[in-house]
Structure 1
Amino acid sequence: MQPLFLPGPSVTFRAIVLLAASVVVMVADHRWQHLESMRGVLESYIIYPLRYTINLPIDFFRWADQGLSSQQFLLEENARLKEQQLRAQVSLQKISVLERENDRLREMLGAQPKVGERMLVAELLVIDLDPNRQQVVINKGSNQGVYIGQPVIDAWGVMGQVIHVADSSATAMLISDPNHAIPVQINRNELRTTAFGLGCGGQLELRHIPHNADIEPGDLLVTSGLGGRFPANYPVGRIVEIDRPVGETFARVIAEPVAHLDRSREVLLVWREEAAIMNTEISPTQGPANAGK
């Protein structure tokens, strides 16, 4: 019986024929450039789209990686610039305070406590502006060397001091807290007094000021450095109201804190050279009412 399909050429024969044809085509193309136009068509409509499709996932992952790297870099750069700006603003706080008569400058610099170089930026986690307890919680604690009594300032002035320290957080009492007091002096004439927090309204009160005291609305209050906690010559507040009631011994003087107590989200913790002396807890008998005195 005769088979339906006759056997074709062997695979080896086919390979030899195709190889020979390929060699002939390559030689002809090399000498006479007959396939140049066809090669251009294949490159444009077949090879390039295929290569583009294959490279799409690689290009996408490369683009995504570059985007994430750029975003992370921008976030880190933004945080660094914000910290740099905050430090610069704090450094500028004291310029207006130290612009006094030249003949007193040397004496002042020789007598005032010196502020240590170390500062640490912290962020506010919790804000408690209850009239009877004005406190904030920051994201730095004993792991970063924070201690009880440590001054807390923002870019505009003194905010308060640390009253409780945990491992990775700390609680600070604001200067407007009714249990807080801070030794201050009038920048214009160095009249020393104490500023007490009033709680409601976030204001400060200067007590035991005689009627004839040289004090005026607009006077700048700065830290005096007395009491061993706050460095000298940091802005605290400005006098906004003076009432001299007839028949009373002392005037009623009200000041507004210059620090943005209800708006600042970043603060600076300050280490003084006298930090070893200041690094003590407020005793139970002393209580928070005497903090900062």
Structure 2
Amino acid sequence: MKPIFVDQTSNLSRLLFAIVLSAIFMFADHRGQHLDSVRNLLSTFLTPLVYIADLPSELAFWSGERIRSRDELFSENQALKDEVFILRTQLQKLVSLKAENAQLRNLLGTEQKVEGRRLVAEIVNVAGDPSAHELLINKGTAHDVFVGQAVLDAYGVMGQVTEASALTSRVLLITDPRHAIPVRVERSGERSVALGEGRFDFISLQYVRNTADIQVGDLLLSSGIGERFPDGYPVATVIKVTQNPGEPYARVEASTEAHLARTGQVLLIWPDKEFQTERENVELRQEQSRQPESDNDKETLR
């Protein structure tokens, strides 16, 4: 039996038929635009096929972008974490610098109130013995520091120099049991001597008369007696007055104005020139007064 559908035409015939048919369609479309509707209809039906054919490349591109975005986000997140860590570290330094700057401003305000020569020094060490309230500062005899020199901070009297080497000096704080400083009450003018208690930020006035005009809240100032500490600098504020019946003296406790345990800089002060010159003249007169006695002793021995 002969097959119904048999390909009896040659490929050349098919090609010629296709060329002729294409030429006819092109001519018809060019002359009268008769195939626009057919073209639009075919484009509508073929559009999903275009998207489907392009889907694999789109999926590959999308996956690559997702992977690259994830890696970039991870790297960016890690970089931001590192930056936050660095900024937090810098913030700690800025907090320290802010506190130091405030302290220096307070010292500057104290310098403006101090007459005569003054010098800012830094604390480089604190005594390890809890019973010894001493500091080591980074200024010494090379900076004209001398034993007995008064030391302040931005708020009040801290103590005095007890040892001085070329580049460092040791400061005995007013809270040390070995330390005493003459004071006066700002309000009433009562005078006394403040002694260290061995506790930071606390001193006491002993052997104060029961009739003395001292009250809680009174400010104690350096009196200048003894020519060691200049007159008029804050020392402490009275926080407790104890009067025992039958006892001739009252006990007065006070809180220091200077921030002894929280400061990083101190202020060294020198006596004003007039006071220093007068002191040198007194020492010279005393030395001259002793000189004839020694000469007379020599004559007696002869």
Q: TM-score, normalised by structure 2?
A: 0.56
Over the aligned positions, Cα root-mean-square deviation in angstroms equals: 2.7
Q: Does 1:200 align with 2:199?
A: yes
2:187 aligned residue:
188
Secondary structure of 2:133's aligned partner: strand
Sort the Cα spacing of 1:123 and 1:217 in 2 relative to 1 into closer, same or farther, 3 A. same
Q: Which runs of 5+ in 1 are unaligned?
A: 1-76, 95-114, 281-293
1:244 aligned residue:
243
Sort the Cα spacing of 1:120 and 1:183 in 2 relative to 1 into closer, same or farther, 3 A. same
Contact 2:201 2:259 in 1 (8 A): no
Q: Does 1:230 align with 2:229?
A: yes
Q: Distance in 2 between matches of 1:89 and 1:160?
A: 19
**Following superposition of structure 1 onto structure 2, how do residues 37-76 of structure 1 map, counting pairs within 5 Å?**
none
Contact 1:131 1:177 in 2 (8 A): no
Q: Does 1:89 align with 2:109?
A: yes
2:121 aligned residue:
122
2:300 aligned residue:
none
**Following superposition of structure 1 onto structure 2, how do residues 131-170 of structure 1 map, counting pairs within 5 Å?**
131-170=130-169
Q: TM-score, normalised by structure 1?
A: 0.57
- 1:220, CA displacement in angstroms? 0.1
Q: Does 1:254 align with 2:274?
A: no
- What number of residue pairs does the alignment pair up? 183
Q: Which has the higher contact order (CA 8 A, sep 6+)?
A: 1
Sort the Cα spacing of 1:203 and 1:81 in 2 relative to 1 into closer, same or farther, 3 A. closer
- 1:200, CA displacement in angstroms? 2.7
Higher helix share: 2
1:177 aligned residue:
176
Contact 2:109 2:154 in 1 (8 A): yes
Larger radius of gyration: 2
Q: Distance in 2 between matches of 1:219 and 1:159?
A: 19
Identical aligned residues as a percent: 39
- The one-letter amino acid of 1:173's match is L
Contact 2:136 2:169 in 1 (8 A): yes
- The one-letter amino acid of 1:122's match is A
Q: Deviations over 1:175-195 (max 9, x none)?
A: 000000000000001111110
Contact 1:177 1:202 in 2 (8 A): no
Sort the Cα spacing of 1:87 and 1:262 in 2 relative to 1 into closer, same or farther, 3 A. closer
Contact 2:103 2:154 in 1 (8 A): no
- 1:89, CA displacement in angstroms? 2.8
